[in-house]
């Protein structure tokens, strides 16, 4: 009997040690690898922030939009015709793009009739939408979508179901912008909305989750490799807990309860894509709960994470934690655009204070996972 008890205690101790010594991701630093970096736009004394990108079907042309200012401000529009190696001058835009109140986001969509479009959201109240039907050669003005608004509209726009033209999108609000003359309530609400006509019109948003304790926001979507499940990664804005994740197995109709992500995936504005080998690369701003901030060497910087879908499901820390660029001012950086080229190169684009004492500007970093593997071996 004593022998059995001893074996049980040893097994319990072994399991506890395994949990305590869980594999942590290897840290890699690309900050000083200047050859990876391309300046998209920079102007002395002008704040340029919060870009999103859109890769066209030719696999080479990338569109990029971003505001002159911290979220709010005139939208700047640029193109790259060579997969992000060089960028055009600032291109003409519709007059009312100067009135954008919040971070613009770009999304490729297809209508029920097969018509291909690119849509651009601009948030706060009321949320507005611009449309291009010629791969970004021309655009409509920003037009109101409905009597509602929100913050970072949209975090993502994802095709769902088996019919063309059906999309799911998510955003959040804290009471100030969902309705006209709103006020901060202390409650963060995560909303979902659906489109059946290829993103031209959207239904009245529905609540996915709300809380005054856990402030979940800035949703970023990852599909499972088999396409059957959806995960959404979420910033936690009270800074009391790690970032969170929720799952859906029915194309966004219902969602699991939120749970915390590992510290290695904790931060703001996650966006991810699969590499050709099936691993995930996720880009975000490294920001931790107050209790953990001093433990992370890349706190406040633009970072990436490499891992797998199973890591997300099982709550594991992943393979690599990568600093893409050192941000020189507080946490003001890294709302990223992310594109994957046919050769497996990720083109990651964002803003930040990359030079001390100077205004933030837009920068791209290029990387392949096999390059990171080689770095990790050295």
Instruction: Report the alpha-carbon distance of residue 84 to residue 36 in Å, rounded.
Output: 11
Residue whose entry in the numeric block shows the structure tokens 């309860």:
257
Q: Tell me the percentage of the chain whose pLDDT exceeds 90.
A: 92
pLDDT of residue 149: 98
Q: Six-digit token pair at 201?
A: 């019109």
pLDDT computed for residue 5 by the predictor: 39
Mean pLDDT of 352-365: 97
**pLDDT per residue over 50-108, tens digit each?**
999 999 999 999 999 999 999 899 999 999 999 999 999 999 999 999 999 999 999 99
Say what the alpha-carbon torsion angle 37, 368, 306, 39 is, to the nearest 10 degrees.
10
Backbone angles phi, psi at 265, to 5 degrees: -110, 10
Decide: 229 and 246 in contact? Cβ < 8 Å.
Answer: no
Across the beta sheet with 52-55, what order do the strands follow? 52-55, 62-67, 75-80
Q: What is the dihedral of CA 222, 104, 299, 23, to 10 degrees?
A: 10
Helices (H), the chain: 2-20, 309-314, 369-377
Query: Quick one: pLDDT at residue 6?
Result: 40
Whether omega for the bond prior to residue 235 falls within 30 degrees of 0, making it cis, is: no
The domain 26-377 having CATH identifier 3.30.70.20: the answer here is no
170-208 confidence digits (pLDDT tens): 999 999 999 999 999 999 999 999 999 999 999 999 999
Residue 126, preceding bond cis, omega within 30 degrees? yes
Beta bridge pairs of residue 65: 52, 77
Output the six-digit token pair for 315. 């709550």
């Amino acid at each position: 009997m004593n022998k059995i008890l001893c074996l049980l205690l040893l097994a319990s101790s072994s399991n506890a040690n395994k949990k305590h010594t869980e594999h942590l991701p290897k840290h890699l630093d690309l900050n000083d690898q200047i050859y990876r970096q391309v300046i998209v736009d920079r102007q002395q004394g002008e704040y340029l922030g919060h870009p999103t990108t859109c890769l066209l079907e030719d696999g080479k042309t990338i569109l990029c939009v971003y505001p002159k200012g911290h979220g709010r401000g005139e939208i700047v529009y640029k193109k790259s015709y060579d997969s992000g190696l060089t960028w055009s001058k600032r291109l003409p835009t519709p007059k009312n793009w100067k009135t954008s109140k919040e971070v613009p986001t770009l999304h490729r969509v297809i209508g029920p009739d097969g018509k291909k479009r690119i849509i651009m959201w601009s948030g706060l109240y009321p949320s507005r939408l611009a449309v291009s039907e010629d791969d970004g050669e021309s655009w409509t003005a920003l037009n109101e979508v409905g009597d509602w608004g929100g913050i970072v509209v949209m975090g993502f726009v994802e095709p769902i179901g088996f019919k063309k033209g059906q999309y799911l999108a998510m955003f959040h609000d804290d009471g100030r912008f969902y309705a006209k003359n709103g006020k901060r309530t202390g409650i963060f609400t995560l909303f979902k909305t659906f489109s059946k006509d290829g993103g031209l019109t959207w239904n009245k948003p529905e609540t996915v989750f709300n809380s005054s304790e856990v402030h979940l926001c800035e949703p970023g979507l990852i599909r499972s490799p088999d396409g059957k499940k959806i995960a959404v990664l979420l910033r936690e804005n009270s800074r009391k807990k790690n970032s969170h994740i929720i799952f859906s197995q029915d194309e966004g109709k219902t969602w699991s309860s939120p749970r915390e992500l590992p510290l290695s995936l904790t931060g703001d504005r996650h966006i991810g894509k699969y590499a050709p080998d099936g691993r995930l690369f996720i880009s975000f701003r490294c920001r931790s709960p107050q209790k953990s901030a001093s433990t992370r060497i890349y706190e406040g910087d633009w970072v990436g994470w490499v891992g797998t879908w199973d890591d997300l499901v099982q709550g594991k820390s992943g393979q690599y934690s990568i600093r893409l660029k050192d941000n020189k001012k507080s946490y003001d950086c890294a709302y990223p655009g992310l594109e994957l080229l046919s050769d497996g190169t990720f083109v990651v684009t964002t803003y930040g204070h990359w030079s001390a004492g100077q205004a933030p500007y837009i920068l791209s970093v290029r990387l392949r996972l096999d390059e990171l593997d080689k770095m990790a071996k050295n």
